[in-house]
Amino acid sequence: MDTFRIGHGYDSHRFGANRPLKLGGVEIPGAPGLRGHSDADALLHAIIDAVLGAAALGDIGSHFPDTDPAWRDADSALLLATVVREVRTAGWRVGNIDATVICERPKLRPHVAAMRERIAALLECPVEAVFVKGKTNEGMDAIGQGEGLAVHCVALLVQAG
């Protein structure tokens, strides 16, 4: 088996839900909520796809179909914890992840420390192995017009020894 595996995840959701914004398992007060079948935590969704992709264990849609009522308003932290257990069973631990959230608002910097702590706890890795940064889209395209947000994430898996 390989020693390392890399994976990439992407997700986007549209603003406009009548609920608080959740990103990285952290509620951001005063920000517009995201529409989606689950709690629409796009950051955790991108992490799930990066981790699953690295292990070649499918994707978020095959594990938690958005046609299944079981996942309506689901807490994405529980979905990520499930995926981490599965990846561990397959012989991997998360080495590190690096994520970029693209949105015009809210400003993410004040919330990054809390997101990193929460994500690290879910991934069962040190907080130093988790990074999250915010970027705007400089007003361009739908994300730049504030219609929603998008997330890119890469994950490194290390053979558990």
Is the Cβ of residue 4 or residue 10 nearer to Mg ion in the bound state? 10
Total number of residues binding Mg ion (CB under 5 A)?
A: 2
Helices 42-55 & 109-123 angle (0-180, nearest 10): 40
Q: How far is the CB of 56 from Mg ion (least distance, A)?
A: 20
Q: How far is the CB of 100 from Mg ion (least distance, A)?
A: 16
Residue showing the smallest CB distance to Mg ion in the complex: 45
The answer to whether residue 11 forms part of the interface with Mg ion (CB under 5 A) is yes
Q: Do 115 and 105 touch, CB atoms closer than 8 A?
A: no
* Side chain identity at residue 116, one-letter code: R
Whose CA is closest to 145, among 16, 45, 8, 25? 16
Q: How far is the CB of 36 from Mg ion (least distance, A)?
A: 6
- The window from 5-13, 18-26, 99-107, 150-158 that contacts Mg ion (CB under 5 A) reads 5-13
Q: Do 151 and 135 touch, CB atoms closer than 8 A?
A: no
Pairwise CA distance, residues 129 & 126, whole Å: 5
22, 39, 43, 45: which one contacts Mg ion (CB under 5 A)? 45
Using CB under 5 A, list all residues that contact Mg ion.
11, 45
